[in-house]
């Protein structure tokens, strides 16, 4: 009998963008993420055209892992999008992005990951993720600001 004990991580961090929330929100849809996330290539299952909507299903792959996603909330008017995700045999959980306006023409982006390991390897991945979380999320902000300022194009890797 295995003594596996799943680890659970909940992390939240934020950054700001020089955009109004309605303009920033698109960057956190699967298609909008292509503009700034190197290697992000969602494959749409439903709807096949990649239209962002609650219930959309897509997959992504990095290295030898495939992750299955479903958009559980899509509320552009409230600046909120949430995904449920599972990387089989490794980890599963949710990703929530909330865009709020701290000042005119600015967006505070708050990103919360809640993940549970599904294996010892998944637990190890979570520990590394946890240790670098703030740097990871700050990286999102830097990449998006570079796209907004025109110093990085969507095709730059």
Query: What ranges do the domains of the chain cover?
Result: 12-149
Query: Token digits for 108?
Result: 């505070």
Residues in the chain: 157
Which of the following CATH numbers is that of domain 12-149: 3.30.530.20, 3.40.50.720, 2.70.98.30, 3.30.1700.10? 3.30.530.20
Read off φ and ψ for residue 42, nearest 5 degrees.
-65, 145
The confidence score (pLDDT) of residue 157 equals 45
16: Cβ contacts below 8 Å, ≥ 6 apart: 102, 106, 107, 108, 109, 141
Per-residue pLDDT tens over the stretch 96-124: 999 999 889 999 999 999 999 999 999 99
Smallest CA-to-CA distance from 81 within 112, 58, 50, 114 is with 112
The model carries a pTM of: 0.93
Interatomic CA distance for residues 79 and 23, integer angstroms? 10
How far CA 35 is from CA of 76, 86, 92, 103, in Å, comes to 18, 23, 25, 25
Count Cβ atoms below 10 Å from residue 14 Cβ, excluding itself: 17
- Strand-pairing partners, residue 116, are 8, 92
The confidence score (pLDDT) of residue 63 equals 85
The confidence score (pLDDT) of residue 51 equals 95
The confidence score (pLDDT) of residue 74 equals 98
Location of structure tokens 């292509």: 34
The confidence score (pLDDT) of residue 66 equals 97
In the chain, which stretches have pLDDT less than 50? 156-157
């Amino acid at each position: 009998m295995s003594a596996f004990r799943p680890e659970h991580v909940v992390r939240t961090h934020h950054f700001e963008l020089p955009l109004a929330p309605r303009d920033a929100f698109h960057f956190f849809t699967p298609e909008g993420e292509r503009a700034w996330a190197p290697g992000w290539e969602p494959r749409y299952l439903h709807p096949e055209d990649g239209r962002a909507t609650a219930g959309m299903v897509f997959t992504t792959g990095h290295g030898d892992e495939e992750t299955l996603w479903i958009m559980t909330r899509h509320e552009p008017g409230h600046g909120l999008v949430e995904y449920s995700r599972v990387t089989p045999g490794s980890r599963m959980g949710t990703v929530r992005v909330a865009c709020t306006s701290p000042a005119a023409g600015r967006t505070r982006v708050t990103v919360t990951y809640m993940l549970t390991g599904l294996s010892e390897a998944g637990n190890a991945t979570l520990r590394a993720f946890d240790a670098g979380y703030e740097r990871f999320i700050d990286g999102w902000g830097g990449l998006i600001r570079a796209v907004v300022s025109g110093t990085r194009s969507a095709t730059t890797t």
